[in-house]
Structure formats: C-alpha cells, structure tokens
A and B are shown apart, each in its own frame.
Chain A
Amino acid sequence: METVTKKSFINRDIMKSSILGAFKKLNPLYMIKNPVMFVVEVGFVFVVLLTIFPNMMGDVTEESARLYNAIVAFILFITILFANFAESIAEGRGKAQVQSLKKTKTVTEACVLLADGTQVKKQADELKKGDIVLVQAGEVIPNDGEVIDGIATVDESAITGESAPVVKERGGDFSSVTGGTTVTSDWLEIEITSLPGESFLDKMIALIEGASRKKTPNEIALNTLLVSLTIIFLLVVVTLYPMTTYLQVHIPIATLVALIVCLIPTTIGGLLSAIGIAGMDRVTQFNVIAMSGKAVESCGDVDTLILDKTGTITYGNRFASEFLPIQGVGKKELIRAAWLSSLTDDTPEGKSILALASQLDVDSTDEKKIIDTSEHIAFSAYTRMSGLDMKDGTKIRKGAYDSIKNKSVNAGYEVPKDLESLVHQVSSLGGTPLVVMKNEKILGVIYLKDIVKPGLKERFEKLRSMGIKTIMCTGDNPLTAATIAKESGVDSFIAESKPEDKIKVIKDEQSQGKIVAMTGDGTNDAPALAQANVGLAMNSGTNAAKEAANMVDLDSNPTKIIEVVEIGKQLLMTRGALTTFSIANDVAKYFAIIPAMLMVAVPEMSALNIMQLNSPTSAIISALIFNAVIIPLLIPIAMRGVKYEPMSASKLLRRNLLVYGLGGIIAPFIGIKLIDLMSGPILNLMGL
C-alpha cells in the first residue's frame, strides 16, 4: 500500500498520451462540458481573430497591437492545453489500470458440464447464468461464480495484486470466485452466477473508465459555484467596456479578454475533473473498488465506524500470551512441554508459543535433534489436537480442552481440580485455552490471546480527533469485549452481537443524524452493509455482501476502511483548497491588471502599481502567464491530494486557510513579479 502512494504519478507513456489528449480535448464540443475553460477557449478564438484582423472591433491604433494580441492568444492557448493536460494525466492513469484488467479478460473457452455428465466446450461469452463449468489447474475462471465442488488454490493477483494464492472450496465464505482469476492447483466445479459482460471485472473496468465521465454530487455543486463566478466576472468585464468607453479610456479588447481569463477561476476549473478522477484512482490504487464517486465522497463525512472485532481489530485468537500450570506442576515443566508440542507446528499459534517460550528462557536442549527424530502429529478436525511423538516414546499434545480431557481420562488419569477454573479464566478474558499434556498427563493451559493489530490504538485516537466514533461488534461475551475494547481504544462496543444488532446500531446512529460506515464479509452482513451509508465489503466475502456494499476491498483487509475515509476527506479537501487558492489569487491579479489597464488614461493610477511592474503590457502578460503556469504546477497536488493528517476540524481549517488562502493571496504577488522581471525586458525588445 505504502509503495503505491509514493509511486510517481506520471511516467513516459502517460505523459505522451496525455499531451496528445490535451490537444484532442480542444474540441469545443468537449470543452463546453467545462464552462470555465470553455470561456477561455472562446476568448482565445476571439483574440486569434483580433490578431489576424486587428481592426475587427475598430479599436486599434498602434502597429504593435497585432503582436500583443498574438502573445495573449498564445498564452490563452497554453492555459487551455495545461488544463486539458491535467485531465488527460488523471485519465491516463485510470486507463493504464483498465488496460491491465482487460488483459486478464482473455478467456476464450470454457468446459461446460452438462446434466448428463458430458463435457462441452463453449465460448466464454456464451456462458449463461446457472451453467456449471469445470476449471482445471492452469486455466482461467471464465466468469464469476460459486464453487459447488472441488477444492483448489486460486491466483487472484489479476484483480487484487496479491500474489499468494487463495484456497477456494465449497460452502462458507471462500466459495465465491471471480472471473479472470486463475486456478493454480487441483480443479473446481463452478456454477456461473453472472451474465457475460456483467461480471465483477466488467463492472470494475466500467467503473474506472466511467470515473472520468460521471460527476459526483459535490463536484457538480462546486462546478455550479465556479460557473456562477465565471458569469459574475464575465459581467464585470463586459460591463467595463461601455463604462470605459463613456470615460474615453481606451482599453484593448485583448486586455479585457486577459482580465476575464485571469479573474475567472481557471486554476480550479482546469483541475477540477482531474482531482475527481485522481481521487477515485487513489481509492482503486488501494485496491478498493468504489461503486460510485458519491460513495467516496460520503466517506469523508463518516461519523461512526462500525468494525468487526475479529479480523478487523484483532488478528483472531492466535497468540500465546501466558502459560498457566495446574497445581503441582512446575512452570518450567509446562513451558518445556508447550515448547516441545509446537516445535514442528507451523501454524501462527505454534510459532507464537515458541516465541513466548524462548522469551521465558525455556530449556531448549537438543532442539535440532528432537525436530529431526520426532514424528509430527498434525492437527485434525477429528482429534482436535496436535503435537509430536519423540523417539524416546514421550508423547506431547496440545489441543482443545474437551479432547485432551477425554484422552487423559481414558488413559486413567483424573482431571486436575483446577483445570476447569484455569480454562474458564482464559475464556472469560476472551482468550482461547489450549491444554497441554505429556503422556496423557495434563500439565497446564496455554493462554492464546486475541491480539489487537499494532497501531490501531493510535489510529482510533486520530479518528476520535477527527470526530469519528468507532464501535466494535463482537460475538464475544461482554467481559472479553470490554477487554479488547479497552486495549484497542474503540469508543464503544457491542458484545454478543447478532447480525440484526448491527442493523439496529446503524439505524440508531443514523437517527441521531450520523453517517455510518461499516465493513462486512458474510451473507448475513449484507443487510447491514446496505443500511450503512458507506459499506465496505471484502472481496473474499459472499456475492450478496459485495452486491449490498458500495465498496469492495480486493485485499479483504477490513482495516482499510480507515484509509478510504481519509481518501474521501482528502478528495474534498483538495477541491476546497484549490478553490480557495484560485479565488485568493484574484487579489494579486487585480493589483497587476487594473492599474496597468487604466494607467495610460489615468496616469495617477500608477499609485496602485504596488508591485512596480515594468510596463502595463508586461503587467498584463505576467498576470496571464502566472495564471497559465500555476495549473501544471498544481497538477501534483491535484493528483496526490493535499496533505492530510487527522486532526480536529478547526485545526485543519486553520492550517488549510493559512496554506491555501493566505498562500493564495501571497504566491501570485511573488509569481507575477518574478515573471515580470523576466518578461519585461523581452517585451521591451519586442517593442511592446
């Protein structure tokens, strides 16, 4: 994840296609969708005409007017190109992703199993819902479906980017398969569940491609604001013309066009669609597929996060945290036995026992020898225990309380009196007890604890400072839930929760005017996912959950909802910041252009030329160049989003106002002055 965000947002291919795209987008029919830039284009055409026919409006007297008009026209042209370029880059990145997705859609044939057991080859796009296909190792799954027989590993890297194959089998939460993924071992019988062209992959491609076209509600609202600002400034300048005429102040038409272009919010107007596309793109780069841009926007508003305990907040019951010997057994003995039982155990639990044991200075003599000579007894659902048989006949086992107890009793031992209380103690804390026995004699209990994922506490802290409340849902008893809740730092929890409880919590929160986000994977999460304002389903989850959610996480990492919330906020913030910047810029532009415009007729106006710009012409050209150049300079911000750190709204506002508001007022003063220093002498040489 981290590496993705740091990757440069541009490469040579995207650059090339973007430059091409920038020119293609000059088409007025396309430009009219972006009214702000369309006004610039109309202005450009107008000034070009004025360059060719300087007397068109009957206002020209000087020889140099043609050259001046040409320069203005050229800068306007560059301005439009820059804006188009920004949009093209954003689209280019999405396109690259679509291309790679499309590559995975190259399945041509599928082997259909008919009811009588015969196999028929069919074209993949002829598959109907309900068809049953057989997919062998090495083949690509032709369409989304449900496993009805077989067990196999599937490489889902095509859509998730995760290279480790996943086991798929009938029933449970691992039965759905996605078209375009590859079976890497064994075989699967799959019942197709979607029509050709409507698979998850198809939807994904459509979404990424469509991201550039569909505007989100907030984007439309902001666009409305920008359009009305454009109309206001158009009015300002258009009405200025008769006023100056009345006062017999002569202002070249090209200057008026330059004034319009400088005042209308071209900076944000040029970058707006790029910001939206890039925002959606950032979500996709996190391997989350958002079903709509609206979903991403509402992420920014989330007030309450509902999180499952297992998998989201904790890893699940896996890590050894304590050895609890029964009365009469030395702690050292228990540790040694527990250590022995896990020597050949590859499971995370086993590894954690080894780690804890060595932390407690276990007697680890003959480690290598024992491993080499002993026989590993693997865990099975039937015995519910694992361990090893040593060469000297010692049998070490660890396992579930019931199984170990039975085995011990059968061998003639009495159940130690305090065993049950130890087991109860562990489970009441939310842990899982593993009972250890040596040659059928019970030694004690290993406390396997539910471990809170590292860093979560800090994240919940940050979420709280952002005003987001976290609620943990767990099937555990209240005591356990309270322990984990305290440890992880969630704001509240619901213990012994049933799926209906989740919906109730969501509805309660919503009735208090909160926006609720949740993650879920199982079928019984589907109604809650649909009820929540933002529902993030795991890709590993059932199709029902995925259909109900408005986002799907391809990596099936429920913690990611936090990142998605941040991306949503960042998207809105980027829009706000650049809008503020764009409007704030107008102050400096006014100070550059207004005195310059009127200085010829009203020499006293030079008092307002506070930037001491070279000449009126240079002032106008400099402001116009600044206006154009700022667009590509801001492309990185538009693409990456403004820097976001979780903090309270007031702090955030203050910081962004300082950077983009105050910065927006000051930056153009410096920028225009610098450009003037460079362009002034050149314009002088040209005789302007």
Chain B
Amino acid sequence: MWQIALVLVIYLPLVIVAGHYLYQVTMQQKTWLDPVMNRVDNIIYKFCGIKQVDMTGKQYVIALILSNAIMIFIGYLILRIQSTLFLNPNDIDNMEATLSFNTIISFMTNTNLQHYSGESGLSYLAQMLVITFMMFTSAATGYVACMAFCRRLVAKSDTIGNFFVDFVRVITRLLIPLSFIVALILVAQGSPQTLKGNETVHTIEGKMQDIALGPIASLESIKHIGTNGGGFNGANSSTPFENPTVISNIVEMLSMMLLPGACVVTFGLMVAKRRQKTLFGKQGLVIFAAMSILLLIGLVTCYIAESAGNPIINNLGISQDIGSMEGKEMRFGIPQSVLFTVVTTAFTTGSINNMHDSLTPLGGMVPMFNMMLNVVFGGKGVGLMNMMMYVMLTIFIACLMIGRTPQFLGKKIEEKEMKLIALCILIHPALILLFSALAVATTAGIAGITNPGAHGLSQVLYEYASSSANNGSGFEGLADNSPFWNMTTGFAMFFGRYLSIIIQLAIASLLAKKLWHSDSVGTLKTDNPMFTFLLIAIVLMIGALTFLPALALGPITEHLQIRS
C-alpha cells in the first residue's frame, strides 16, 4: 500500500509544476525553452507558411479536423505499403485493410487500441513514422483542443488562438522535451533503443527464441507522456523491455498522470483572478479534487478486490494470500499492478502492465468503469473537456436549486448549450452500449468472444468502453482482429473522439460570445468542497447509472457467482 501512496505523493508536486509550465505555454508566456525553441518554431512556421492569426472556434475545429484527416490518410498509406518501404529489417508484410483502418484511427484518436502485435505487424518505419509520430500529434491535438476550449471559457471573444501555432508549441515545448527526459530514464533502466533487427538467442531450455528489439524506449516515453498507450510489443508494458523495473513502472505511471492532471491545474490558473493564481486555481482544485476522489474510489476497490484473490483458484489449492496474481508480473506485485491498471484507464492511456482479462471480476470492473465515466482525469485535455460537460450539467441543476438561471464563469448556460452538452454526454454511453449490443447479437461479433457467459460480456463491454473513451487498453482474450471488430471499434474510436471535440468546442464558442454576468453571494459557488461533492454525485448518478444494468450482467454477476 505504501508503494501506491508514494507514487501519489510524488505526483502532487510534479503535477503542480507541470500545470504552471503548461499555463505558460498555453498563454504564450515566457518559458525557459524559448531561446532555443522560438527559433525552431519560427523555422516551422516559415516552412509551413503558418500565419499567426487568431482563429474563430469554427476555423479552429476545421483546422484540427483537416490536419488530422491528412495524417490519417498518409498513415493509412504507409501501413498498407510498409513491406516495400525501407527500415524493415524483420520483413514485416503489409497490413490488411480493416486492420489498417482500425490501427490508423486508433492512433490518430489517441486511443492506441492494438488489434495487431507490434513486433510482428509493423516495420520499424511504421513504428516510428506512424505510431510514434501519431503519438505526438494525437496527444497534441487533444491538448490544443482543450486549450481552445478553456481559453474560450474565459475569453470575451470567440476569435482567439491559432491551431497551428498551438499545435507546434505543444509539441516543441512540452511533448518533445518531456519524452526525451523520460526516454533517457527508461534507457537507464534497461529499455532498448536500437534500429537493429530482432536477436535470435539460445534459451536455457536449449531452444531458439526471437527477442524483439527496436526503438522501444522512445516510443515508450511518448506512449505514456501523451496518454497514448499502444505498446511496441503486443504484451505492452508488462514486457521487461518496455517496462524493466519497478522504477520504470513508477516513471511510466507518473508520465501518464502528469499532463492530464496538469491540464486541470492550467485550467484553474486560467480562470483564477489575477491575485488568486496560487499553486492551484480554486476552480481547478475543485475539479482536480473531484477527479482524485473518483480515482481513489476506483483504486481502493480494485486493490481490495485483487488482494482478496479468487476463491475458485483458492479452492484449487493455489494460495491467494498475496492476492490474485494470475496475469500479473511478479516484479510489480499487487500494488504496482493495481495502480497501473487504475491509472492507465483513468488517464485513458491504455498501456497495461498486467492482463486485465485476468483481474478478479470487481477488480476488472474498475478499469472498465473508469473508461465508462471517461472523466477521471481522462486523456490529455479531452478528459478535462469531458469533465467540463459534467461540470456544466452540475451547474445547471445546482443553479436551478438555488433559483438562478444556470451560469458558469459568468456565462449563462441556455437552451443551445444544454442541447450540445446533453448530446456530448449521450455519445459515449450510446457508442459503448449500442456496439456492445450489436456485437453480442451478431455472429460476427460473437465469433470474437472467447469466454462464455458473464465474462464474455465483460470482454465486449471493455473493448468498446476502451475504444469510445480513446483508451486503447484491451481486456484481451478477445479475438479482435476480424473485419467486424476492426470496423466497429474503429467507428467507436472515431466518433468518440471527433464528435466530442467538435461539440465541446462548439459549446465553448457559444459561451465565448455570451454576455458576461458577475458573481455575488446569490450566485452558485463553483469553487468550494460542496461543488466537488455535487460534481461527483452527478458524475456517478448520470455516468454510473447508465452502465449499471450492463455491469450487473457482466462483472457483478461474475463476482456473485465466484463468491457463492
């Protein structure tokens, strides 16, 4: 348990520092990297012909979507013809059409759901030019969307910020420096970083085995910094090369927790009045607290469930004293595995250091639930935006309860905004439930399910929750590389990502154009513990109640069955 506490204690100061730095980057303030990076930026601006003019919300979204579309197109092409291109020492074949579709959507949407195995499905060129490249650009996309969103909440005009400038700055000021540092630490811990082909070695059993090598450390660092999650190897961060030691495990966890949390701090600083810009903006703290509490609830549940072990295995005579170790790495044990599981799903990274399919039913429900909520910090930037939808919903109901028309940061939430908020909250459960229902109702879907009964349903729910939340972790065990699964999860990822971003930015644009109203004792306080409590209640009421019947059929049934 102290291992978990240790990580959380280190996390707090880190996230505050990162939040302040992110604030400087967002608000175009001076940063210590400016002397070097300003030059790099200017070269990029000149080379790409980027004019640094402010954009309206609509222009911003269009720029975002188009640039993503172009990257998708190029990436798809590379995957389809990778065998004929260079840097392919292991002679990997071209990727099949639906799998390419799934993969490219997966990486562009920051999901990084992998229906392929990295070591056997991708050339080094594809690993670097598609996978690692998109890990930067998709993370940057999510964050600039959030920047545009937050700016509009505090701005008095809708014309503010330039997508391309934001995009470049986030990569040069944030992602590249951070992932560089993390990559070095990982190399120090033993992760390979090489362009050499696989090694074939004699094992102690006297057999021959291929050892997958490659530019692993660099991918690994941005995989977590950018809350991406797609591993170099199929077994992701449970493999010794991706995640060699307990220290690398902690570094990877902190990496993925850093920026989503920092986004909240940045937001808090943006909305705080000038004098109140202390460590945390008050408003940011309220949201950060709500997210933290939801995280801790999940963490404790998962830890208890995993520590309790599996009674059926116990009955087989395999001791469960140290908890349910099935599918976990001995070097991580229960605490480090549980924390990784909860963190990777809460922060929607999707890398794994243990087999989620092997978690106990309730232990496995926690990651699923994190993704279903999609607001427990969530992905970089987008998690905050998702939470803001709930914040506005909470404000809507709470304001009514005190007899005011709903207002957030001085802007009224009215019919149009409410429609969009409602739609945005609706998208996520709709994608998960509709696709899950489709999967269990069609032969093509059922073909992929490898477990009978309740656990099979859990696999399906998990897969779509992971897709729609742009998480990317798999319950695994699902035979998911089939046209049906490739296509449906592809669509879930696509709509889960872009519909949400478009709608959220539209809401921000609407609010930016509104008249500002002042606060008084009569207006709702949105920066006190009461609001944190209320926000959690609304997230659980709306977010959780939606999935309860499905969860009752899946993990809860399974839990009750193995315990009786």
Contacts and interface: CB of A to CB of B under 8 A. Distances in A.
Interface of A: 217-218, 220-222, 224-225, 227-229, 231-233, 235-247, 249, 259, 263, 297-298, 300-301, 303, 465-469, 512-515, 568-573, 575-577, 579-580, 583-584, 586-587, 590, 594, 598, 602, 604-605, 607-608, 644, 648-650, 652-654, 656-657, 660-661
13 contacts: A217-B415, A221-B406, A224-B419, A232-B430, A235-B429, A513-B516, A572-B400, A583-B541, A594-B552, A598-B553, A604-B563, A604-B564, A661-B537
A242 B440 contact: yes
Contacts of A301: 404-405, 407, 517
Contacts of A224: 415, 418-419, 422
**Closest A-B pairs by Cβ, 9 of them:** A467-B522, A576-B400, A569-B403, A228-B422, A467-B520, A513-B518, A604-B560, A576-B401, A239-B437
B78 to A, nearest CB: 37
B400 A653 contact: no
B415 A221 contact: yes
Contacts of B534: 653, 657
Interface string B295-313: 0000000000000000000
Nearest to A515: B517
Interface of B: 393, 396-407, 410, 413-415, 417-419, 422-423, 425-426, 429-430, 433-434, 436-438, 440-441, 446, 453-454, 456-457, 515-518, 520-525, 528, 530, 534, 537, 541-542, 545-550, 552-553, 556-557, 560-561, 563-564
A598 B557 contact: yes
B386 to A, nearest CB: 15
A580 B401 contact: yes
A573 B403 contact: yes
Given A217-B415, A607-B560, A653 B548 contact: no
Contact of A244 (B415, B417, B553): B553
Contact of B401 (A246, A568, A577): A577
Given A225-B418, A243-B553, A587-B541, 6 more contacts: A232-B426, A235-B429, A239-B550, A303-B517, A513-B517, A608-B552
A650 B456 CA distance: 47
B516 A648 contact: no
A661 B538 CA distance: 11
Contacts of A218: 400, 405-406, 414
A656 B402 contact: yes
A653 to B, nearest CB: 5
A235 B433 contact: yes
A557 to B, nearest CB: 22
Contact of A654 (B414, B418, B530): B530
Given A221-B418, A239-B433, A653-B530, A580 B397 contact: yes
A246 B413 contact: no
Q: Interface centre among B398, B402, B437, B517, by most A CB within 10 Å? A: B402
A466 B515 CA distance: 22
B451 to A, nearest CB: 12
Contacts of B546: 232-233, 236
Among B414, B456, B524, B560, which residue has the most Cβ atoms of chain A within 10 A?
Answer: B560
B415 A660 contact: no
B159 to A, nearest CB: 21
Contact of A649 (B522, B537, B541): B522
A579 B517 CA distance: 25
A440 B515 CA distance: 65
B405 A572 contact: yes
Contacts of A644: 403
A602 B419 contact: no
Contacts of A648: 521-522
A236 B549 contact: yes
A256 to B, nearest CB: 10
A469 B440 CA distance: 60
Contacts of A259: 549
Contacts of B517: 301, 303, 513-515
Contact of A653 (B401, B434, B518, B563): B401
A225 B413 CA distance: 12
B454 A247 contact: yes
Nearest to B442: A242
A247 B553 contact: yes
Given A467-B521, A572-B405, A246 B400 contact: no
Contacts of A242: 437-438, 440-441
Interface SS of B by simple majority: helix
A233 B426 CA distance: 10
Contacts of A469: 520
Contacts of A515: 517
A63 B339 CA distance: 52
Given A242-B440, A243-B437, A568 B403 contact: yes
A650 B399 CA distance: 10
Given A217-B415, A232-B426, A247-B553, A584 B398 contact: no
A587 B540 CA distance: 10
Contacts of B407: 301
A547 to B, nearest CB: 25
Contacts of B414: 217-218, 221
Contacts of B417: 221
Given A247-B454, A575-B400, A236 B429 contact: yes
Contacts of B419: 224
Contacts of B397: 576, 579-580
B283 to A, nearest CB: 15
B457 A246 contact: yes
A598 B400 contact: no
A604 B415 contact: no
B553 A236 contact: no
A221 B413 contact: yes
Given A247-B453, A514-B518, A650 B557 contact: no
Contacts of A514: 517-518
Nearest to B437: A239
A512 B516 CA distance: 8
A224 B425 CA distance: 12
Contacts of B537: 661
B522 A468 contact: yes
Contact of B549 (A227, A512, A594): A594
Contacts of B453: 247
B276 to A, nearest CB: 18
Contacts of A579: 397, 400
Contacts of B522: 303, 466-468, 648-649
B454 to A, nearest CB: 7
B229 to A, nearest CB: 26
A243 B440 contact: yes
A488 to B, nearest CB: 20
Contacts of B438: 242
Report which residue of B407, B522, B530, B542 has the largest number of chain A beta carbons within 10 angstroms of its beta carbon: B522
Nearest to A606: B560
A243 B550 contact: yes
A577 B466 CA distance: 35
Tell me which of B403, B413, B453, B517 has the highest count of chain A C-beta atoms within 10 A of its own C-beta.
B403
B517 to A, nearest CB: 4
Contacts of A575: 400
A660 B401 contact: yes
A227 B425 CA distance: 12
A604 B548 CA distance: 17
B393 A225 contact: yes
Contact of A602 (B429, B516, B550, B561): B561
Nearest to A298: B405
A230 to B, nearest CB: 10
A602 B530 CA distance: 39
B434 A235 contact: yes
A300 B403 contact: yes
Nearest to A231: B426
Contacts of A247: 453-454, 457, 553
A158 B396 CA distance: 40
A569 B404 contact: yes
Nearest to B551: A594
